[in-house]
Amino acid sequence: MPLKDPELTTADFRKIPESDFERALKDYYICRVSRELSNIIRKDVLSGRAKFGVSDDGKELYQVAMARAVRDGDWRADYYRGHTLLLTLDMATPEQILAQLYSDENNDPFSGGRQMGGHYANASIDADGNWLDATQRLNLSSATSPTAGQMARGFGLAYASKVFRRDERLPARLHSRNGDEIAWTEIGDASTSEGIFWETMNAAGVTGVPMICTVVDDGYGISVPVDLQTTKGSISAAMAGLAREEETNGIDIHRVEGWDYPALLELFPEVARQVRSSHRAALIHVRELTQPNGHSTSGSHERYKSAERLEWEKTWDCLAQFRHYLLATGIAEAEELDELEKKAKKVVAAARKNAWEKLQAPRRARREALLALLPTNGHRTPAIERFGETVRQMAEPLLSNLIDAVRQLRFEVGEEELPRPLRDWLRDAQRELTASKGSNLLSNTPRSPLRLGGVAPRYPETPKSVPGYEILQHFFAAKFEQRPELFAFGEDVGEIGDVNQGFAGLQERFGKHRVFDTGIREWTIVGQAMGMAMRGLRPIAEIQYLDYIFYALPMLTDDVATLRWRSNGMQACPLIIRTRGHRLEGVWHSGSYLSPLVGSLRGMHLCVPRNMVQAAGMYNTLLEGDDPAVVIEVLNAYRLRENEPENLKDFRVPLGVPEVLRPGSDLTLVTYGACVRICLEAAERLANHGIEVEVIDVQTLLPFDLEHRLAGHLAKTNRLLIVDEDVPGGTSAYIERQIIEEQGGFTLLDAPVRTLTASVHRPAYADDGNYASKPQVMDVVEAARDLVAF
């Protein structure tokens, strides 16, 4: 950007109303507290007190202006900065911000010590999973670090306001005031180079949602200048094609300098007013910002900025200009501002001292309690004496350090020689550490899908046999009638009822706002669902084919799957991703690669129903529960006929419970999804030759066989064959580990485990390609025969 002349005269400033003078001084004080906090964050990382720091230095002033525009009920989807806004709104104290920096699980209110500094959240649910009143405060959706990842979530949070304004039947008391809420979405300028930024802004312009995206522009992405990041060197200029014009949709684009206090005060409330009333998204490009401490504590910006640029940043630092403004306009005298700066330093210094002591005092007390468990002097061995001295000399008596010291002592002296009090302490301490860092991956509330149990399907004496897609039509129609908070959307979902007709007729029956089409934009389809689910709605978002879910995988693995865990149980997003895969011939419509999902979606449920009745039962379970999930229907089974249950909208398939579809004594065959039908046919052929194969459908991959039933079956047959359509070493290897290692199945085997999978390459096209690429009936027959003969 061009470097400005640093000299301004009083006449150059637009003066704010006199009634705002006191507020301006308060804003200056908050900004100075924020800056001092940023300085302390950098100091404590560089001195070793903390591991990593990002802060607000250079980005304070626009946030105090934003605070004027925020209302109770609004949501925030920010990037890894933003403590100035929270300080301004009295939503956080410097001590709490430092507690997160120090990873103090007892005093970090944003993540329980699980997230790096700058990642903020507040509770949207209580301990029982009940929704809290979101209309009474600014709601902080838990931040993530992947650049631009917050954009899709912000879009979804804004879309929920559109839904609440449109549908009066929704139970909105705790979630919305007539859709009047804005989703405040912030992003660093360099991150606008990410595709998800463009996808989100396009989706926001098409759909018309109350989202304000603030682009925070300091001219660099770490060391890379904006000219190498963005066309025309300006994101607002580059996005001009999305700008709304008369008679068109689009977004409103605004530009403002981040050091211009009166302009910021004028712009943010006015943009918010427009967005609330019109439900039209806006972008605010905050330009000419600086970063006095560099991008983060990872390195110094002096390495890549010219001397001229560094001198410019000193002059045009927003706080330097703010002070200059207050003095030049007569709002304050220099002595008055000096006193505010001194006060800010004292406040932050006290907060630092208190936060550190609150962290260390329990650690010291725990160390003393551990040392008190050691035997008295007459019974101490040299090993225990050395252990005691090691623990006493620990500079940082972290729980993990204490645990590791006891484990080393146990290794040295042996389990039986370790004093019983130390054994008990170690057991309890390891449980505590595991819980403090690993709890709340999935719901522990009374509505957890894992607690609901199953309800068997009930059939009439003369069951009606219909194609699978009709089963889904009837099911979804019943659920939409029953639950007004249920929505479905995705590519081709609305008018034609999805490409396989599972939603056919539902848009006409329930309205275009409940069953609707989206653009081809998988990442923001998931973000749309996530934001809606975080605000009490129950979205079913469709990804047309499993092959395309990988466009949305970053959103699923980084944001959806981690939300409950990274917020320490304070937030949830019980969305359902509906997709289809397996067995259709062709490279890109035959998705069976589930191992990337099994490996990356811990924190979600992964359901692989073998037919549409089972799919309906899983949807019932998930909709009664409060966890997110992916359901993968069998693509070539929509036209296969199935018996329709009488209790279609009520029966439930329990998650994590395998189902035995055929008993057998010679071999246990474990499979799922489309391979179930293949394996059942193979079992019939084998039975004609005297080989009885037990066929078990695992039903869900996440969770997997919670009661360890498969080992019990293996104890009867002593042989295990795993069949699936993933690549060799993919999901079959995961299943094998679960049975052999987790369930102790190794001791039950009389033969090696055999896995039968798809080929290493993608499924080739047409019949020969399918035959060569995926397991066929005779492949199963021959593998089972060979394993039984071993």
Q: What is the 3-state secondary structure (H, E, C) of 598-634?
A: HHHCECEEEECCCCHHHHHHHHHHHHHCCCCEEEEEE
Taking 70 as the threshold, does the pLDDT of residue 155 lie above it? yes
Q: Which residue has the higher pLDDT, 396 or 282?
A: 282
Taking 80 as the threshold, does the pLDDT of residue 34 lie above it? yes
pLDDT score recorded for residue 13: 63
Percent of the chain with pLDDT over 70: 98
3-state secondary structure of 20: helix
User: How large is the average pLDDT for residues 334-358?
Assistant: 97
> What are 401-427's pLDDT values in tens digits?
999 999 999 999 999 999 999 999 999
Taking 60 as the threshold, does the pLDDT of residue 219 lie above it? yes
User: How large is the average pLDDT for residues 440-464?
Assistant: 95
| Dihedral-angle region of residue 187 (phi above 0 means left; psi in -120 to 50 means alpha; beta otherwise) | beta
Cα 82 from Cα 484, distance rounded (Å): 36
Taking 90 as the threshold, does the pLDDT of residue 19 lie above it? no
How is residue 86 written in tokens?
A: 């929270």
Enter the DSSP assignment of 50. S
Check: CB of residue 561 under 8 Å from CB of residue 628.
yes
pLDDT score recorded for residue 683: 98
Taking 60 as the threshold, does the pLDDT of residue 643 lie above it? yes
pLDDT score recorded for residue 269: 98
> What are 100-110's pLDDT values in tens digits?
999 999 999 99
Check: CB of residue 496 under 8 Å from CB of residue 529.
no
Distances (CA, A) of 729 to 134, 662, 669: 45, 26, 17
pLDDT score recorded for residue 407: 98
Cα 104 from Cα 168, distance rounded (Å): 43
**Is 589 annotated in the active site?**
yes
User: How large is the average pLDDT for residues 47-60?
Assistant: 92
User: How large is the average pLDDT for residues 527-549?
Assistant: 97
Percent of the chain with pLDDT over 90: 89
Nearest alpha-carbon partner for 220 in 433, 75, 59, 30 = 59
Q: Phi, psi (5° rounding) for residue 399?
A: -60, -40
Cα 711 from Cα 716, distance rounded (Å): 9
Q: Phi, psi (5° rounding) for residue 252?
A: -95, 135
Count each helix (H run) and each strand (E run) in the chain, helices first. 27, 22
- Choosing from 589, 708, 713, 761, the catalytic residue is 589
- Exposed (0-12), middle (13-18) or buried (19+): which is 324, by Cβ within 10 Å? middle
Cα 450 from Cα 129, distance rounded (Å): 14
User: pLDDT band at residue 116, thresholds of 50, 70 and 90?
Assistant: very high
- Whether the CA torsion 779, 783, 789, 790 is positive or negative: it is positive
Cα 598 from Cα 735, distance rounded (Å): 10
Cα 613 from Cα 619, distance rounded (Å): 10
Nearest alpha-carbon partner for 571 in 595, 543, 536 = 536
- Among 504-513, 590-599, 709-718, whose mean pLDDT is lowest? 590-599
pLDDT score recorded for residue 3: 46
pLDDT score recorded for residue 6: 47
Complete DSSP assignment for 659-725: EEEE--SSEEEEE-TTHHHHHHHHHHHHHTTT--EEEEE--EEES--TT-HHHHHHHHH--EEEE-S
Residue 342 CB neighbours (<10 A): 11
User: pLDDT band at residue 702, thresholds of 50, 70 and 90?
Assistant: very high
pLDDT score recorded for residue 779: 98
What's the number of CA atoms in the CB half-sphere (13 Å) around residue 758?
A: 26
- Whether the CA torsion 498, 504, 507, 513 is positive or negative: it is negative
How high does pLDDT run on average in the chain?
Answer: 94
Taking 60 as the threshold, does the pLDDT of residue 7 lie above it? no
Report the predicted TM-score, pTM, of the whole model to 2 decimal places: 0.95
